[in-house]
Structure 1
Amino acid sequence: MTTSTEQARAAGLVAPRARATATRPRGVSLALRTLGPLALIAAWQISSATGALTPDVLASPGQVLQAVQELWGNGQLSDALSTSLTRAALGLLFGAGIGLVLGVVTGFFRLGEELLDSAVQVLRTVPFLALVPLFMVWFGITETAKIALIGVATSFPMYVSASGGVRNTDRKLVEAMRSFGLSRWAIVREVVLPGALPALLSGLRLSMTLSVIALIAAEEINSTEGIGYLMAQAQNFSRTDVLAVCILIYGLLGLAADGAVRVLERVLMPWRPTGARRGTGR
């Protein structure tokens, strides 16, 4: 019997046994995810306490916490955070919106692809930082220049994801909807966009991450408010504690953006397994 089974398996007649997967409890998974950051903070504190890291190189975690309390107490941190979040949100809304519209047009309409895709692909190869001098000439040192820079940076990931997701929509389903008399825009709204939702959320995640990266660059353009302005002031006075606060805030903004899209994925696509639920036991 064993020999027959082995021969059948070798011939491809018997499906291989599926590997058993193990799913960790949510609490254990969360604890494992916090180990890395906690270890990094511990190493940072030890280096500061032993003198390996002096305050003029990098302030200790305790000094950074005191800086947070100081900046929050005098209102500087809350004002700067509000300004930076507004810039990032407006730039993301502008850029991701344009990327979504262009992606749907080029992905669904042949004429749209022929007219627009090659031009967008050429522009996509230009680093958004290279546009800083041009935007300063066009818009001056204004909020418009900063928001436009963030918008350009966030538009291309959404465009690529939307265009690819729309192209991969089941064409048989599209043709079936046409046979029922639905207009093109009704098909886009009722069939194409829901079918492209995984790709759209992937593009949104990349766009939100890039919005934080572009925000950092945008706030270096002679800002007079925002997290970037706090960093510039801290640099002038060699305040490594405030610099560390600003860097950590930028990192937390990126982490929050990624987490927001993950939550959105769970809400809009509850059938998709998340990282915590598809553990492999490795």
Structure 2
Amino acid sequence: MTAVTSHHRPVTAAEPGPLVDVVAEPLTRGARRSRVPRWLRRLSGPFVLLLAWAVSAEAGWLNRDLFPPPGEVFGAAWDLLASGQLQAHVGQSMLRVLTGTVLGVLAGVVIAVVAGLTRIGEDLLDSTMQVFKAVPNFALTPLLVIWMGIGEGPKILLITLGVAIAIYINTYSGIRSVDAQLVEVAQTVGAKRSTLIRHIVLPGATPGFLVGLRLGLSSAWLSLIFAETINTTEGIGFLMSRAQTLLQFDVSVLIILIYAVAGLASYALVRLLERRLLAWRNGFQGV
């Protein structure tokens, strides 16, 4: 019989085949995309929104009296900066958010650790936290004013509750999601309880904690809106209420932009913490 000869040459390292080309092509495209800094690509979305707003205002598609163009809004910001009002109001609001967030993180983590590590803690605390989760913050505002007066107490407490609930739910879930086999292996080799918690449980719960922190910071700014309706003369919530009363739509839009920038900065902070605290995790980062 005549031997059948192949007309296809073998694929060698010096001569890549079609499969190598298919794999290399998206990698090359990804390398080209990576020349643009990621932080700049992330800001492209908000920039497009601002551009669309400016174009719509100039084209007359928006009612300038009800939705001022960017130039008028930035002009209002400059006037408030020049008078010192914007710095004072934003500074007071940031102080409230910072205080409530720190207290909320501490409370949420402590409750989550107690409920997550022990069944007795779960039985005593979890149902209570679920009750607080089901009650919206703004429903508590009148009661907090009656119980605590109109000082800073109810404002800080509203923010603290919003942050603590988000931290608790996600941290507790992270603790209970730790692989039970890892815990059993650690107990088998004689690891102490403190070692088990420090090296297995808490690192395993860190991703959940960071998710809770991201939601908690968003909740803090939302809670601030309700908190600053409680008889206050300082804060961006007060500035918003005054602008609505005086029909200052440029100031109202400015406050919305401030909330947006604060939310974006909070998101960037959590992403920074994720890169530092979760450097050990080799998760999927997209293509």
TM-score with structure 1 setting the length? 0.83
1:278 is matched with 285
One-letter amino acid matched to 2:267? D
1:13 is matched with none
One-letter amino acid matched to 2:277? L
From 219, 224, 241, give the equivalent of 1:232: 241
Of structures 1 and 2, the larger Rg is shown by 2
1:93 is matched with 102
2:157 is matched with 148
Maintained 8 Å contact 1:212/1:250: yes
Single out whichever of 174-183 and 202-211 deviates more from structure 2: 174-183
1:52 is matched with 61
Alignment partners' CA distance in 1, 2:227 and 2:245: 19
Paired residues in the alignment total 261
1:255 is matched with 264
How many angstroms does 1:184 deviate by? 3.6
How many angstroms does 1:46 deviate by? 2.6
How many angstroms does 1:65 deviate by? 1.1
Q: For 1:96-119, what per-residue CA distance to the aligned partner results, in whole angstroms no more than 9, with x for missing partners?
A: 211111111111111111222122
One-letter amino acid matched to 1:253? A
RMSD of aligned Cα (Å): 2.5
How many angstroms does 1:175 deviate by? 4.4
How many angstroms does 1:265 deviate by? 0.5
2:274 is matched with 265
Is 1:108 matched with 2:121?
no
Q: SS where residue 65 of structure 2 aligns? A: coil
Instruction: Tell me: CA distance 1:47–1:196, structure 2 relative to 1, closer, same or farther (3 Å).
Output: same
One-letter amino acid matched to 1:85? M
Q: SS where residue 266 of structure 1 aligns? A: helix
Alignment partners' CA distance in 2, 1:184 and 1:89: 33
How many angstroms does 1:244 deviate by? 1.2
Instruction: Tell me: CA distance 1:26–1:114, structure 2 relative to 1, closer, same or farther (3 Å).
Output: farther
Maintained 8 Å contact 1:103/1:160: yes
1:36 is matched with 45
Q: For 1:192-243, what per-residue CA distance to the aligned partner results, in whole angstroms no more than 9, with x for missing partners?
A: 2122111111111111111111112211222210111111221222111111
Taking only the aligned residue pairs, the percentage that are identical comes to 41
One-letter amino acid matched to 1:278? Q
2:127 is matched with 118
User: Greater RCO between the two (CA within 8 Å, min separation 6)?
Assistant: 1
From 118, 136, 147, give the equivalent of 2:145: 136
How many angstroms does 1:245 deviate by? 1.1
2:9 is matched with none
Single out whichever of 247-256 and 30-39 deviates more from structure 2: 30-39
Q: Which runs of 5+ in 1 are unaligned?
A: 1-18
Q: SS where residue 121 of structure 1 aligns? A: helix
Maintained 8 Å contact 1:56/1:238: no
One-letter amino acid matched to 1:228? G
Maintained 8 Å contact 1:266/1:272: no
Alignment partners' CA distance in 1, 2:63 and 2:230: 30
Q: Which runs of 5+ in 2 are unaligned?
A: 1-21
One-letter amino acid matched to 1:171? A
Maintained 8 Å contact 1:99/1:159: yes
How many angstroms does 1:68 deviate by? 1.5
Instruction: Tell me: CA distance 1:177–1:36, structure 2 relative to 1, closer, same or farther (3 Å).
Output: closer
1:83 is matched with 92
2:222 is matched with 213
